């Protein structure tokens, strides 16, 4: 462990993903604060009603000061999103958000605290080295920076999973599925509005099924706390985590926590900008469409998308994917590789990879 910590202190790497996470956190803080501003206008100031502060009552701001805090946080979140004074803006917005949470326990939710905590940790990282929307394009060399704060954010996510999983394990009602069944019942109408069949929800909430799902949820969180760190299990942990949180999102109300978790997942991806290639046939309409879609949704910049000149390998294929190791894939293997690297398509990766594993079609490495 000590050796790993020392390695973190001196680790250098590409900060591209940090810029992407900075933008996402800035947007989420803006959205969270905008919701608070709407509540101030429609419901009223929380300090004029029943509230329970963590801090002394004298530290709770007046309505005017609270309004100024919200306006400042909105401005800081916008600056963090575009990357102008990105680190300072992100850190300051996190501090203001945490201060507001300390002023009223009723407003406190774990997902809101996690959002501001991750923003504060990320502000310690070189997240201002990439995706600066108001400045010129950065170079690869300018993005190389220390990554120790990124590791802190990763460790914090593992702590969240470990604390949640162990807490559920020690809670008899959670282990037996009572808490999960109650949650499904309380959020049933919201889940139905999202398209989940009522019959499926009733089946999931039955005692035996809820008990089994509760134990699966506990095992999942403990697995994710560890599996995200291991190279051999990381992609499987990321995929299972995505499906786990999408299921929670569809069946419960967790505000921004699903999207916050997906954002932090970005920090576990390998920082290898344009290490892969997608060659497409510019003479085919499908090839052009596929290329545009990859460019549009390849937020992690994993692929260099280029047209090809036909040769013996590429002739007859709409796209050919060249992996990091130089091996090539077409057909379903190519689409599985794209799904593995493109966030929007990532939920499709496991089923596509499974189908591809049963056939040699798409293996384009003969003579490579």
CATH number for the domain spanning 312: value is 3.40.30
Q: Is residue 73 part of a domain?
A: yes
Residues 262 and 328 in one domain: no
Give residue-wise pLDDT tens across range 90-137. 999 999 999 999 999 988 888 999 999 999 999 999 999 888 887 777
- pTM for the whole structure: 0.91
Give residue-wise pLDDT tens across range 221-264. 999 999 999 999 999 999 999 999 999 999 888 889 999 999 99
Q: Is residue 258 part of a domain?
A: yes
- Can you tell me whether residue 300 is helix, strand or coil? coil
Q: Are strands 303-307 and 276-280 parallel, antiparallel or unpaired?
A: parallel
Q: Which residue among 268, 286, 315 closes a domain? A: 268
Q: Which residue among 100, 124, 146 closes a domain? A: 146
Largest separation between any pair of C-alpha atoms in the chain: 77
Residues 178 and 207 in one domain: yes
Domain count, the chain: 3
φ, ψ (nearest 5 deg) of residue 13: -170, 180
Is the model's pLDDT at 368 over the cut of 60? no
Sign of the Cα torsion 121, 21, 323, 140 reads negative
Q: Is residue 363 part of a domain?
A: no
Which range of residues forms the domain containing residue 301? 276-357
Residues 39 and 142 in one domain: yes
Hey, what are 151's tokens? Answer: 């590791």
Residues 57 and 180 in one domain: no
Q: Is residue 2 part of a domain?
A: no
Predicted local distance difference test score (pLDDT) of residue 9: 72
Mean per-residue pLDDT of the chain = 90
Residues 70 and 96 in one domain: yes
Predicted local distance difference test score (pLDDT) of residue 313: 54
Q: Is residue 368 part of a domain?
A: no
Q: Is residue 35 part of a domain?
A: yes
Residues 131 and 229 in one domain: no
Q: Which residue among 146, 175, 199 closes a domain? A: 146
Q: Is residue 365 part of a domain?
A: no
């Amino acid at each position: 462990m000590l050796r790993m910590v020392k390695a973190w202190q001196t680790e250098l790497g590409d900060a591209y993903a940090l810029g992407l996470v900075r933008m996402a956190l800035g947007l989420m803080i803006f959205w969270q604060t905008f919701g608070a501003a709407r509540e101030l206008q429609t419901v009223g100031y929380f300090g004029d009603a029943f509230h329970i502060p963590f801090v002394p009552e004298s530290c709770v701001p007046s309505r005017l000061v609270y309004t100024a805090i919200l306006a400042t946080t909105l401005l800081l979140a916008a600056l963090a999103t575009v990357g102008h004074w990105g680190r300072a803006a992100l850190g300051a917005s996190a501090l203001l958000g945490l201060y507001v949470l300390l002023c009223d326990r009723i407003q406190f939710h774990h997902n809101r605290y996690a959002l501001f905590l991750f923003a504060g940790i990320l502000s310690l990282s070189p997240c201002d080295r990439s995706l600066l929307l108001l400045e010129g394009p950065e170079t690869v060399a300018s993005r190389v920076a220390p990554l120790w704060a990124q590791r802190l954010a990763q460790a914090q996510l593992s702590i969240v999973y470990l604390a949640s999983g162990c807490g559920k394990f020690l809670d008899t009602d959670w282990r037996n599925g009572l808490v999960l069944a109650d949650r499904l019942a309380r959020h049933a109408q919201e889940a139905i509005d999202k398209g989940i069949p009522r019959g499926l929800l009733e089946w999931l909430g039955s005692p035996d099924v809820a008990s089994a799902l509760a134990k699966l949820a506990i095992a999942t969180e403990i697995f994710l706390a560890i599996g995200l760190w291991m190279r051999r299990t990381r992609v499987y942990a990321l995929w299972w985590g995505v499906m786990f949180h999408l299921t929670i999102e569809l069946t419960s109300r967790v505000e921004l926590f699903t999207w916050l978790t997906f954002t932090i997942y970005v920090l576990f991806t390998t920082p290898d900008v344009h290490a892969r290639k997608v060659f497409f046939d510019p003479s085919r309409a499908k090839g052009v469409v596929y290329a545009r879609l990859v460019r549009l949704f390849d937020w992690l910049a994993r692929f260099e998308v280029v047209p090809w000149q036909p040769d013996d390998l590429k002739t007859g294929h709409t796209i050919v994917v060249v992996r990091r190791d130089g091996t090539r894939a077409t057909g379903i293997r190519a689409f599985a590789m794209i799904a593995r690297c493109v966030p929007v398509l990532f939920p499709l990766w496991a089923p596509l990879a499974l189908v591809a594993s049963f056939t040699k079609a798409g293996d384009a490495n003969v003579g490579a």
